[in-house]
Structure 1
């Protein structure tokens, strides 16, 4: 009878190795069959870890496997890695044989006891202690070493991308250390993430406040979500909570919960400190379900599910304006979904209302390119639903809502693409049942635009007229003759309504005599009165006052 060890291949674990491993953890007396089963399972697990480690080695552009590759493979399998065993190069093993068995061992370095004794003692470790710190003060995370550092939007965007570094064969060895550091980015989707106790408490409080019954707490939580700068680590959890919550509440027809979850998504979209692009694959389909869902509540004819659709359309438009780029083509894909919803007649006009509202929020160009070509089709559906009996009140209500929406936002686009000379018959042929109403609204909008243009022109003309300053009529001047001996004096001319002021003419009162004799100042060394006399003669004729100045030479 052959021994059990003879059936085991050469390079695999032996039965004695398995028994020794079991005895090292305190298990002895294993059955022979159990040992063989453990041997096969250990062999499979070891091979699996080695294969994963080889993948990390290949991603790092290396040929030699390192202990860090094994640690990465263990982390991927959610197994605690080995601590205290790390080396920049491979670890050499020595081989020995004897008694028909082979043994691989690692050579250990001999230590000198004298060197160990003379070596300085290590630093004494500090006793464990507890301390408290502020996680957030008035919604703002303080910049202390105990709190996580808030990442900028650029760094968040770089971390969210899984790009493989490209190295050439020539610098394989020089880039080996950098490639080891790049493995978290290459395998970021496979990493498990853990939250601290404070973050778990914050997540629990935020989610309970947002969907709870207190309006004050809900408003405070929404403000915190829209302004907090330290939500980057919690962002995947919030997005998953919103997506799963919308999925459950749509199936249960709970409209109020859908409103609360949509407000959470809007608060995250308004936060300028987080990069929301990596969460769009979860958030956009969930919010689109609220917009294009056939039935969102238990009683659609009584409950206001239209406001939820309008709010969802606004959030989708915010996502498209902030995160749409040529790499993801978010807005193009959203418009394509709306266009397919408009062509689907099996889902009801409430879905058509959501699609049209979504296109309206995306802008006038989306309405012109998608809604206007389908106006005749929508007009036929609306007319068909309005002509039916009152048995289907939901579809009639949706038809009225859709008609009101189209008549409100389509005339602006029709003003740009239709000629002013188009007649009512042309509108009826092109847009069917909605043609007459659209024709009247377009004509009224053009008249209003023309009136506003005339008002603006009139206002501009009036402003220009007021800015022109006309020249006032000339004021009456002071007339008179002067004959001066020596240095002449210059009288100051004033308006007739203004009193006359001069350094050498005193102020005239209304009771002044018609003729007043004044003495001018002396000039140089001349004696007073040597220059002559100055006479001011005042005459009044109606409302005009004339002053005549006469100066005579001394006698």
Structure 2
């Protein structure tokens, strides 16, 4: 019974609790048997924990010899005060000595005697550098900041397109093949003069976008259907657009469809049907909730702005007075209206991701609006774009430039139909600012005439011709109230 109640002993140095008891007595501490046993077991557990952690460091270092450095790392990880002293990198040298008359051999480590003065004058070892890291902006909203960590624009421009990472241009030219052919020509001509060494050539691996056969077949079929002008395939076109709008597995094809749209818009500006189809493709991709379109907004905006502000869309028409000319102009303006709707959608959905997108687009639209050399369609598209930018842009940007725009653009147009289209578009923009009178109800109508002072203020703000057009409208007072909101009492 007594032997069974004893605490089981292990085979480590501390397992006989006498060692702990002797150490306690040397310090003047009197421990009971139970306390000595428990303390010995705890010390044994701590030693095992330190050794196991040190062995992990040894194995991670691909070594089979446990060093004092591993023990130090283990103590540091376990938040234990390290052992101070010198790490002996040299192998230990053991010496033997005979003890007593029996001739028992004792092995001991020969401690080298070091002079204190020599130790004091010895140079301190270098402090190891701690692992540190720094962060910098590689690009902010697609613009690379000019900081020492980033390459300068001159260095980037001096590199060939293949090294910069471009694989193809917007027109579909294969830069990689062109670069490869150029390199082959240089190699062939240079081999006649001197041998090309490994130092002269630098081979970089090319990362290719791998598509499955099903996706390739799908892309080819959709492109073929979208470009077809066969009336019998109209139903297939609608199915293809519906697939682009709803299918969830098309994210890998997004850059290919955007490149396809850009190529068609660049090369088919005379074909109204193709341009309308390309806008439908952009609309379908933008409406697909499973596609993450944020990284491709910078590629979509040139396509939309091109169809909104391009000089010539569709067939050339010089006379807009006849029916054919008016019909062609209406189709031209319909494409621009569709582009303006898509522009508004992109601004609303992705404006939060690109904080400068709205400001940059507004600047582009205003520049096109004030350019008197641009045709009617460009001015119409600019007005539509500014209208869809919101009331704040209309009031702060458009109204302040209407007087200058009318004098430089409208006065130079000889066609009455085109002039009427642009003025109606301006009236639509101003109509967005209207503020209804809160006193108006179904039973009571508050309708007072506009004072002469207010008319003169309006003429001074937007110009006399446009002021007369505003006064002809039924809700002219509501529009004037919106124009002068917070400035005058209307």
TM norm structure 1: 0.44
Q: Which has the higher helix share?
A: 2
Structure exhibiting the larger radius of gyration computed from Cα positions: 1
